[in-house]
Every structure is written in structure tokens, then in C-alpha cells.
Structure 1
């Protein structure tokens, strides 16, 4: 027999998702994005409901994750470094031109916040034949035991959001900024 371990909800407009299990809470917003204030307000409201129903005692992981899809016009692309500041380096002794696909993961401790930054970067299926699509995924998290009523969780998530913004800006070039503005 199958055991039911949680619920997954999606808003009517299909832009927000919420997962609830007895030991997990996850809230997501899909593009087009709204302000952090709206997002965190929705998350806090859902967290309040979740706490009433599931009555968690502790929170063991707090995180923000942003999965960005960057579409680079093929006609403008000569080097990925023109768009991203951290890219895989291919040996010049490999004589075949071009890079068909890649997946790269970096794990960088953020000692001042006592957390971990994971950067996933990958080429993925393009959205149209005229572009190269890069996934730029930032996951900032802390494994720590918090009391589930601790309001400091929300200020810490805010700190993670600020760090995510710093990392994103440090990772892209002006050419990428032109694409996303």
C-alpha cells in the first residue's frame, strides 16, 4: 500500500507552488517574478497555516533558491565568458571546436553567514533555435536547528536574499544585464 507523505498545491494562475509534508515546507514562485515583499508575505502566511496544522517543533534547514534561465542570442555568442564570469574552462589541446553541453556545480562556504552557497550552471534545451539557454541556479542554505516560532528565521532568509543578489551580480556581465533588463 502507498503511504501519503504530503501535499503539493498550485495557485490558480500556476505561478505559485507550495509543498507540505510532516517534515517539510517549501514555497515557490515561478516567472514572472514579483517583489520579495510579496513573496515573503505569502510565505509567512502559508508558514502560519502549516505550523497550525503540522505543529513542527524545529526547523532544520533554511534556504533561498533562485533558478534563472538566461537566453543568449546565438548570433551574439562567441564566448560564454562574455555573459557569465564563471564558466567551465576547456583545454586548448582539445581540438574540436564548440561546447555542446555542460553541467557545473560549485559549493562555496559563506562563513560570515554560516551557510553554504551552491551554484549550478548548465546548458539546457534552448527555448528557441535562435538562443543558447543557460541555467544559472543559486541555492543558499543553512543547516541549523531553529525553534519553529523563531522570528529570526525570516530575517535570516532576508540576509540570504541579499547575498543571492550579490552573488548574481558578481557572476554576470553587462551583456547579461542587457538581456534581462
Structure 2
């Protein structure tokens, strides 16, 4: 099984099957694939029934293409690929790249990265340098950025509080003990 297949399997485990929680801004999801993401993949408006009946193989293809290859996460250092991929699934690819860009800037990227959520040559180089030079510190910085994002999200939209514990548990899966979140 390739690394991306292992990452997808882990995401599907985290996401579970069909869910339609009234407070979930993504609406109905299956294997973590929202109705909107499925609509985009199908090239037509997906129904709630389409989401409920989503085949796991289709979900895996959406993850591979839309959340890993299209945003260029496959070009990030291996150290942070799974974190970035999971972030893309949970928050969208642009936000995942923003986490990387902000973290690299906090670690002193030269030149500083434009925080635009797009994977360009400068972002790839800065992430590679940060992974080589800072390793665990880069991971801690990414964890803190995502953790802060969750808290800001709940602050801005209190209805999302119901998901906070689960999000923090999800984030804790990326904390190997050497990268403890403060």
C-alpha cells in the first residue's frame, strides 16, 4: 500500500461513514466527502442520497485527486505530508497550505512566504528547509496553527463547539509525544 493509500485509509477511519449533523457546515458527508465535494467530482449537483450511497473507492479517488495531488501536497516533505493532507480534508486544501506557509514564516522562512494558500516553488522550498532544519519544531508549529484555527472557528461560530473535542482528538493523532501541544 502506498503512503497516500495509508493516509487515505487513516482519514476514512477518522471521518467514519455517513453523517448529517445539523451543526456541520459541510452538510451531509460520507467517508468525510461532503455533498459539495461530491458534486464537484461528479460535475453535477449531488443529492443527499448520492452522498449516502457513496462508494468508498470513489471517496478514495476524490481524496487522492482533490485533496492530495491537485493542491501539490505530494510535493511537501514526508515529515508533514500526512498532517497537511488531513488538514486539507478537514479544512480545505487552501487552508492546509496556509498552515504550512504560516508555520514556515514563523520559523523564519527567507524570503518570507506570501500566505496565499497556494503551493508554489517558494512554499515547497521553505517547507523542505524547515523540515530539514527544525523537524519537531516545524511539527509543533503546525499543530499549534491548526489548534488555534479550531479555537478561532469556535469563537466565530459557537455552534461549532460541539465538534471541538473531536477535532482536538484528531489533532492529537499527529502529536508523537516529542511535539506536545502546549
| TM-score strictly above 0.5 | no
Which protein is richer in helix relative to its size? 2
Relative contact order higher in (CA < 8 Å, ≥ 6 apart)? 1
